[in-house]
């Protein structure tokens, strides 16, 4: 049985550009070792935006050494990058961008969402790349809701959408560089959930809304992250209120993490190289 290691609450609230009011749940600056291979999780919203003709979001910026995963719950996001990748996603969709050797990208509210306004809620997750893959070619996966298996859990306790990895016979559509599970769960109050997960792997539960209880006395509510110990291959918890949560599970990379803003590598020298490459224009340009 996997036991609770600790619960982490949001440590800050800030704007990314002018379109994403986020709470930083964790980053490579605080619990990188405990969360490997996951580097960062920002929770944007829930928020309401009025209709606008303005282009709200965050402008061109670089990344190297990892992947960004954007999961939209409400609203819409449009993405463009210097490899020619891009697209627009809405509720239930996912953008999985592999920065790897380096690219420049931008993210804005989708034109459709900006025009009508309304509720906005999304998660952005950063997934580290193994050292051997950090300088791979960049890539982009646009994963629409209809591509994501949505599996009923036992005893009408809810559903699990398998974005990456595998739940029973359901395989997630995301292609990954190391073994990970990213599951979007919608859970019904009054049930105990029991999930089989690999022993030795990182496991964490991020609650977007609702409440769960782990063990006899540890309750986890909205915008909180429950990080489990790696021992054991079964995860159990009680669903106190109807809950939406994101399950993160993956094999730790056990490699050094050196990060500086949008660059995450394995040494200080590689960070300096990333900065030099970016400043010298090696990350390309976004074409519109």
Continuous segment of H or E residues that includes residue 277? helix 268-279
Q: What is the pLDDT of residue 288?
A: 59
Closest C-alpha among 63, 70, 81 to residue 19: 70
Euclidean distance between CA atoms 205 and 157, whole angstroms? 17
Euclidean distance between CA atoms 59 and 146, whole angstroms? 29
Check residue 210 and give left, alpha or beta (phi > 0: left; psi -120 to 50: alpha): left
Euclidean distance between CA atoms 248 and 214, whole angstroms? 16
pLDDT grade for 12, boundaries at 50, 70 and 90: confident
Please give the residue that has the higher pLDDT: either 125 or 45: 125
CB 79 within 8 A of CB 41: no
Give the predicted TM-score (pTM) of the model.
Answer: 0.97
CB count, 10 Å around CB of 14? 10
10 Å CB burial of residue 46 (0-12, 13-18, 19+) is middle
CB 44 within 8 A of CB 21: yes
Q: Say if residue 83 is preceded by a cis peptide, omega within 30 of 0.
A: no
Q: What is the pLDDT of residues 150-159, one digit of tens each?
A: 999 999 999 9
10 Å CB burial of residue 122 (0-12, 13-18, 19+) is buried
Q: Is 271 helix (H, G, I), strand (E, B) or coil?
A: helix
Q: What is the pLDDT of residues 177-196, one digit of tens each?
A: 999 999 999 999 999 999 99
CB count, 10 Å around CB of 199? 12
Structure tokens at 141: 């996966």
Structure tokens at 75: 């609203």
């Amino acid at each position: 049985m996997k036991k609770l290691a600790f619960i982490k609450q949001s440590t800050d609230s800030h704007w990314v550009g002018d379109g994403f009011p986020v709470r930083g749940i964790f980053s490579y600056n605080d619990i990188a070792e405990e969360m490997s291979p996951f580097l960062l999780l920002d929770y944007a919203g829930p928020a309401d935006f009025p209709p606008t003709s303005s282009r709200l979001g965050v402008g061109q910026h670089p990344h190297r050494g990892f992947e960004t995963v954007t999961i939209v719950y409400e609203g819409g996001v449009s993405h463009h990058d210097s490899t020619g990748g891009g697209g627009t996603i809405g509720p239930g969709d996912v953008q999985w961008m592999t920065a790897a050797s380096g690219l420049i990208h931008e993210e804005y509210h989708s034109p459709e969402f900006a025009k009508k306004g309304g509720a906005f809620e999304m998660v952005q997750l950063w997934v580290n790349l193994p050292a051997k893959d950090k300088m791979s070619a960049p890539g982009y996966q646009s994963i629409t809701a209809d591509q994501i298996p949505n599996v009923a859990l036992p005893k009408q306790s809810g559903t699990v959408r398998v974005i990456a990895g595998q739940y029973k016979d359901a395989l997630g559509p995301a292609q990954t560089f190391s073994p990970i599970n990213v599951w979007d769960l919608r859970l019904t109050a009054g049930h105990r959930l029991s999930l089989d997960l690999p022993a030795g792997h990182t496991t964490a539960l991020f609650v977007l809304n609702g409440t769960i209880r782990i063990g006899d006395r540890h309750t986890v509510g909205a915008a909180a992250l429950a990080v489990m110990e790696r021992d054991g291959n079964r995860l159990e918890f009680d669903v106190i209120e109807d809950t939406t949560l994101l399950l993160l599970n993956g094999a730790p990379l056990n490699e050094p993490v050196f990060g500086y803003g949008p660059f995450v590598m394995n040494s200080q020298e590689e960070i300096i190289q990333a900065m030099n490459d970016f400043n010298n224009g090696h990350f390309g340009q976004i074409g519109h």
